[in-house]
Structure 1
Amino acid sequence: MSASTDTTEVAPPSTWHKTFRDITQGNAIISVLAVVLALIVGGIMIALTDESVQAAAGYFFSRPGDTFVAIWNAVSGAYVALFQSAVYNFGAPTFARAIRPLTETLTFATPLIAAGLGVALAFRIGMFNIGGRGQMLMASAAASWVAFSFDLPWGIHMIVALLAGVLAGSLWAGIAGLLKARTGAHEVIVTIMLNYVAVYLVLWMLRTQGLLQAPGSNNPTSPASKDTAILPALLGPQFNLHFGFILSIGATFLVWWILSRSSLGFQFRAVGENPNAARVAGINVKNMYLYGMLISGALVGLAGVNQVLGTITSGFTIDIDAGIGFDAITVALLGRSTPWGTFAAGILFGAFKAGGFGMQAAEQIPIDIVTVVQSLIVLFIAAPPLVRTIFFLPSPERDRRRQEKAREKALKARLESEADLEGAAK
């Protein structure tokens, strides 16, 4: 009986097979392959728009090798320039000049990480915070006002300005959370409308003497932040990298702790998975929406503070957000709404921003191609079946159905074997 039973049992997968399956069916591999696919498509666009490739393609059938060489030179030259402008410049005369591209990448990544964490946290609660621009503007306005209006000791001035900006971003996002919790208003609509309100409100303040407009100026710009409020440089005055990057690392640890180690994070995740089940379990779903948007807005507000106290300290304009509020959505999607995934995605997009300008200067490649690559990353992340099909990766659903069929077949064989044994015994 035991021998016949053993023949019907499904053999467990080997350790290597299980590891391979976990890797190929995980979310991380989809994000990596989405970036690879986007770079491949970007390379095709670079080749199609390169003048030397177009010239060589004119006599392709007589000398096809020239076309392929031109394609290789165009694509490799563009991506080498992207790397050297974003990570390390091998041709620099000094080490300080060589690592400057990396520091620029981290500088660009600093607000992207903070804002991306805010959007990712909202995602985990089942909310879509699309009001990053408005929250950054309100945070920048509050932090800038404190930075140029008060005379406080160094350190204290910076902390007060930082807290003012974070609080302003939190309260501005909290409006959407409160309306969602109390009236059921959709946060996407509310945050989009709050973006417009913030833009015109801050623009009015920048054009009004006594509020945010620089004294004696007719331009909509604020006064420069006082030195006591500016975030200190991390590597010296020759680099733009500032203390805001450390704050973004701290924010990543904080979001990780909230989501993974705190009871509040458990409630956030429960509401994000199934608000009805969370409500039945005794969780106050309305409060979670409000708390989530308050924390999300504070993180996005930190991005605005990094801009006005770290990157642009000579006075800000209405374009202080530099599209970061919307890029944060892409960063959160690429990071799969996880703290450290968002951190890595922020650095990647910071590299695109830093390297895109260098690629344009060195190879005359339109910087719009970098924007297209970023958009394609989102497209491929939103279509995991497409990525799995292109790279011949196993589908989780297919593997699950195969395992269910194997279990059903084994159970059927066991029942038939036991029936045969009972019949023989009689």
Structure 2
Amino acid sequence: MATISCGIDFGTSNTSVAIDNHGDISLVPVENGNVTIPSAIFFRRSDNNAYYGRAAVNLFFDRQEGRFMRSLKRVLGTSLMKHGTLVNGTSMNFSTIITAFLRQVKAKADLMAGEDIEHVVMGRPVHFVDNDLEADARAQDELKAIAQRIGFKHIEFQFEPIAAAFAHETRLNSEKLAIVADLGGGTSDFTVIKLSGANTHKPDRSSDILANTGVRVGGNDFDKQLSLAAIMPELGYRSTYGDKGLEVPLKPYHDLAEWSKVNFLYTPKMLMQVRQLLHQSHDKKRYRRLLQVLEDETGHSLLAAAEDAKIALTSQYEYKAAFAFIEDDFFISIQRTIFDQSIQEDVEKITASARQCLQDAGVTNKAIDLVILTGGTTEVRSIQDAFKQLFPNAAIADENKLSSVGLGLAYDSQHKFGRLIRPHSITSVPSID
């Protein structure tokens, strides 16, 4: 009997899975008919049951009591994996939390396949952790152990941008020199690769893959920079206190601007510190808003507002963000120029990694025929403008931004586990030239 395999793209912001069912590759509906699921989990306090994806997000923003977590992928390879966190008063390690999330993703794939799938290609960024080979290897080992825990017996890994290239390759009618830009919530990864529809049968693609680079910068970092530039000042960020006019501590603001850190702020010690400084604050109105967020534990709502503003500013020049959860009739008008300025350094880091990929591949930017954009962060205007400028001669392919990696991983599972794909069998991607 032929092996059924799958590919899982466990993303910082969203997750997808695709299966190879006897030669037919298709995306799995992982949540109410959707082929992507937000990488989020909510443990409701009343029963400590876990809820995932959109259900988790909705429960949290409906102000249900419990513990909400996102951006779990960013914890892999870090010290937080060892320390764990409190979930409704009980200590829980992050390996258990990530396992719970990925187990229900696998269950959806098993249901569609009609059997327990044992073969998987897991996607991974080029670098889980920048400039730390030991932490990078540890992150992959941690993800492999989680895959084993949820029932996979044969586990391989593939760089996410390479997987995205494989998904797009089946649509090509001629040979192209391509660069894949996979810009997600936590990382930005690049691959220079030779693509051709005729190459989909090749079991070994190492000669076609010319270079890979990556940097730990993504959409979540854009959210953070926008929040610090446009939102946090209205909560007293960089205001002063006391007789000496000292700047208020900045760490609470930085942690409030990161999905993976915000929960660690809700401690009696932090509340006491902010309350004490409020008495000495030179801007009590704004600094009191910080205290309000910490007392009400609405940091995730603050993050969601920043993310909403980022998304809105991809098509609007100005966005009026509402913060009624802090105080009535509290709005902040944010212009796209502020957003562009706030993320300029991060955009430069991303484009520098793309340039490094070209240099490592030994090709010029003008030699690139095709730029494949995948990941939600590629929607940002500054990113699109930067890549159009960097690759003036290239066609841009940006369909299936949130699911192409999952499709490509399933395609790669064909080769890694001994079957060759029929080119017409991949679904959900239209033909291009």
- Structure-1-length-normalised TM-score: 0.25
**Structure with the larger helix share:** 1
TM-score by length of 2: 0.25
Of Structure 1 and Structure 2, which has the larger fraction of its residues in strand?
2
The higher-RCO structure (CA 8 Å, 6+ apart) is 1
